[in-house]
Amino acid sequence: MRSKLQLLIEQLNHANHEYYNLNEPVLSDKEYDKLYDELLQLEKESNILYSNSPSQNVGYEVKSELTKVKHEIPLLSLDKTKSLDELEEFIGDKECILSIKLDGLATKISYQNGQLRQGSTRGSGTIGEDISHNVKVFKNVPLNSDVDVTVVGESIITDNDFNIINEQFNEEDKYSNSRNLVSGSVRQLNSEICKDRHVKFIAYGIQSSDFNFKKSELESLSRQGFDVVPYKYVSSENFREAVVELQSIAKELGYPTDGLVCTYDNIQFSNSLGSTSKFPRHSIALKHDDEVHETTFRGLELNTTRTGIVSLVGLFDPVNIDGAMVSKASLHNVDIFESLQLGIGDTITVRRANMVIPQIMDNLTRSNTFKIPQTCNECGSQVEVRTQKEARFLHCPNSNCKAQLMQRVVHYASRDAMNIVGLSEATVKRFIEQGYIKSVSDLYDIDKFKDGITQLEGFGKKSYDRLFNSIESTKHVNFANFIYGLGIPNTGRTASKILAEVYNSETFLSATKEDILRLDGIGNVLASHIYNWITNQKNIDLYNELLSKGITFEETTESEESSIAGLTFVVTGKVNRFKNRKELSADIEQNRATVKGSISKNTDYLINNDKESSSSKNVAAKKLGVPIISEEEYLNLINK
């Protein structure tokens, strides 16, 4: 009955469009009236009223803003895998529902006293936005319900509708994917705009369901008039065939997708599993493998860094990868560039590794006609090829190169270094172009150029005062931040802290390579970089110039030997006692321990408040026998 109802609505709406907009009626009045009467009868029998039905006159609403909605039951995201073997392991001996993972906007719709009461976006998972005025004009949402129910699903725009709507925009205003279009559409303040975007709601669940099985839940939603996500009832024996079938169904329907979702059918069992801080344990998403796309190579972009290394960036015709328009990718070094044998116009394949980092995978043409430019595109100096870590890199030897200067100043001002608020890369570039900055130390003399700076477009007196005060505030800092800001090659925050614990501003430049090598956590290569920097006359001059500007350093107090000194930690998950993971990591390092980004056999502890999380770090820790501790247990370790 539901499909017949939707078919009648489609026929009548098409007839209305032809009659009122094109003045070309496709139905006689008698034929139209017959179909309309049939529609009214079906609506009465099914008690389903769709917002796009000719029998309904849903008025448009214009909101001044979208109000926030708190989700009493959080709308969590899903844990992910790309492995069919891992999916089989998840299924185990259970029956599951395998469904299409729609690539739209997660949406919740609530019904109360027979009427649609509220529609809201997922938002952060705990706080969303009220989009009730727009949900009422979705293409397929029932305006009524026999029961009080909260339905969760995805707001989407089909591929066909997306292409038609996108053609209406100017080239520069076109949307790169339907996810972006639907997100913008359902958050419109004027519901008439949303209606014209043909948004559909595809249901995939009921919050606080009274059903015993997921399959029964989905069947109930279908009876209530909802379009339900396509799904298959599977076990470990037949899920692989279902994967192929569902991928084919998604293409036929023109639904935007980014994988599949597997959920245990037994709802009581699912509820018993609970959830992590991020994911429910009853479901897992099977993501697509990284999609590989063909495109055309168009050239190289050379970017000079603060250390003089010239990074190679390959340019190509834009391709839509996982909803993002991509037109460039790093080629990292000379060896990778040469291995691809590139030439202008060559057909190349690109992907976004793990859906994030663009990569040029292969060159199908291999004309090998493109030659790397021999000069720095910023200063014009002849570039050199230098070997570093067994790979060849381009290098600009001109230490006065403006590109290098700009990146050195930006690094010095960065949050982890001197934290000069308001000094963006664009601002630094303008100051260099105007001749206000010729060295990092010139930051402390910008008051000489106050008149010129306040005349720059978008840079009034207030902006200048804020920047000046921010620079002045850096004249009394932690010595470790200062060392990091100097930009010594390969010397990160941790190494800077190690140096600051042993040296002060007066003794640092006198360190010998042997002294530096004795420090825990600093190896031979890093010691060489540090020693070479502190013995270079230009660097010595810069160091002394900065100190001459009145920079002083916070005193470090000698503390008792920490109980965790020398241990290695990995931090993951949400934190409660610290502001964020970065603050927790800083506390660990302050106690003379080391923080790493991944689990290894040398890891002493993994800090995670959710010890049962299925995250990759938890799994690796359990495999290697690394203890998983909470923040509280960490604080107990250091006797706080």
Known binding-site positions for NAD(+)? 29-33, 77-78, 122, 154, 287
530 within 8 A of 499, measured Cβ to Cβ: yes
The secondary structure element, H or E, covering residue 603 is: none
Helices 29-46 and 2-20 pack at an angle, to 10 degrees, of: 150
361 within 8 A of 349, measured Cβ to Cβ: yes
Q: Residue 30 and residue 23: Cα distance in Å, rounded?
A: 17
Q: Where are any strands of DSSP class E within 113-230?
A: 115-121, 127-129, 149-156, 200-206, 227-228
Burial bucket for residue 603 (CB in 10 Å: 0-12, 13-18, 19+): buried
Q: Residue positions in the annotated binding site?
A: 29-33, 77-78, 122, 154, 287, 376, 379, 396, 401
Q: Residue 596 and residue 88: Cα distance in Å, rounded?
A: 32
CA angle 248, 253, 257 (to 5 degrees): 70
Q: Residue 242 and residue 249: Cα distance in Å, rounded?
A: 10
Spatial neighbors of 375 by CB under 8 A, at least 6 apart, are 381, 382, 383
213 CA to centre of own chain: 34
Query: Tokens 């290894």 sit at which residue?
Result: 600
The one-letter amino acid code at 528 reads S
Q: Where are the alpha helices (DSSP H) in 25-168?
A: 29-46, 84-91, 132-135, 159-166
Spatial neighbors of 96 by CB under 8 A, at least 6 apart, are 233, 234, 235, 239, 262, 263, 264, 265
63 within 8 A of 130, measured Cβ to Cβ: no
CA angle 106, 111, 115 (to 5 degrees): 130
Q: Residue 491 and residue 479: Cα distance in Å, rounded?
A: 14
In a 3-state reduction of DSSP, which class is residue 281? Answer: coil
Q: Residue positions in the annotated binding site for Zn(2+)?
A: 376, 379, 396, 401
What phi and psi, each to the nearest 5 degrees, are found at residue 258?
A: -140, 40
Closest CA to 265 of 220, 229, 242, 232: 232
The secondary structure element, H or E, covering residue 508 is: none
Q: Residue 430 and residue 537: Cα distance in Å, rounded?
A: 28
Q: Residue 187 and residue 607: Cα distance in Å, rounded?
A: 38
CA angle 266, 272, 277 (to 5 degrees): 115
Q: Catalytic positions, please?
A: 101
Gyration radius of the chain's alpha carbons: 31
Q: Are strands 127-129 and 293-304 parallel, antiparallel or unpaired?
A: unpaired
Q: Residue 569 and residue 595: Cα distance in Å, rounded?
A: 5
Q: Residue 14 and residue 32: Cα distance in Å, rounded?
A: 11
